[in-house]
Each structure stands twice: as structure tokens, then as C-alpha cells.
Amino acid sequence: MSVSELLPCPFCGAVPTMADIRADLNQGTKWGGVICPDCGVAGPEVRTGYDPVECWADDAIEAWNRRTPPAQAAEAVERVARAIYANEWAPGSPAWAGLHDVNRIAWRNMARAAIAAMQAGEG
């Protein structure tokens, strides 16, 4: 498999490169995988055999691609963003009441940014 076959991140849509396939240094390089260059989410770990990345990159790419959801995920993200920004998370709702003020502002700002990016064709 080649890096050109890496699917986008299921969380933010960024496409990893060869530089994003690396060993986990916290585990003595026994495990490795693909790490999203934008949001930092790590894909499923694969055994490295303590070998150079070129020896196990195909396994990491295959594991990453198996967990990437279908295109409908973008629609789900938009529904969640709209729910957060609109009625379900509106001031006075039960969900809104359970959040600390700082988190309320952060969630609404993230939802607003996600909606704007989707409308601009970026997400």
C-alpha cells in the first residue's frame, strides 16, 4: 500500500502523509500507527517489531483505512454541529444547563466554525 491510499481522518478530514506514520516513543517503539496531522487522533496501533517505519507502514495504513467511516460521516458531523448550535443546546435546555459557562461558549464556537466550514465546502 502507498501513502497515496491513506483515507482522510474520520474526525477532521485531514489527509495524513508518510510523516504522520510513526512509532509510539512512549512505548519504546514497539507499537506505531498513523496520527492525524491536524487533530492529532491516533489510528489503531500496529506492532513495529522495532523495525524502521518503512517495514510496517503498510500495516499502519491498512489499520487506519479500516477505521475511516464512509462519506455519511460528514452529514452526521453537520447534524451534531447544528444540534449543538441550535435548539438542543440552546440556553435553557437541559443539555445547556449541564455545561459550565466556558464549555458552553467553546461548544457553540466550535459548532459555528464547523457549520461555516461545511457551508464553504471545507469540511
Could you read off the pLDDT of 23-76 as tens digits, one per residue?
Answer: 888 777 889 999 988 888 888 899 998 899 999 999 999 999 987 555 566 666
Whether 6 and 16 have beta carbons less than 8 Å apart is answered as: yes
pTM for the whole structure: 0.54
- pLDDT tens for each residue of 67-103: 755 556 666 666 776 776 665 555 666 665 665 555 6
Which ranges of 25-99 would DSSP assign to H, the alpha helix? Answer: 53-67, 72-85, 94-97
Which residues 6+ apart lie within 8 Å of 64 measured at CB? 6, 7, 16, 33, 34, 43, 44
What is the three-class DSSP state of 25? helix
Contacting residues for 100 by C-beta, under 8 A, at least 6 apart: none
Q: Would you state the cell numbers that stand for residue 14, as one nine-digit string?
A: 485531514
Q: In whole angstroms, give the CA distance from residue 34 to residue 14.
A: 12
Domain ranges of the chain: 3-67, 72-119
Per the model's pLDDT, the better-predicted residue between 12 and 91 turns out to be: 12
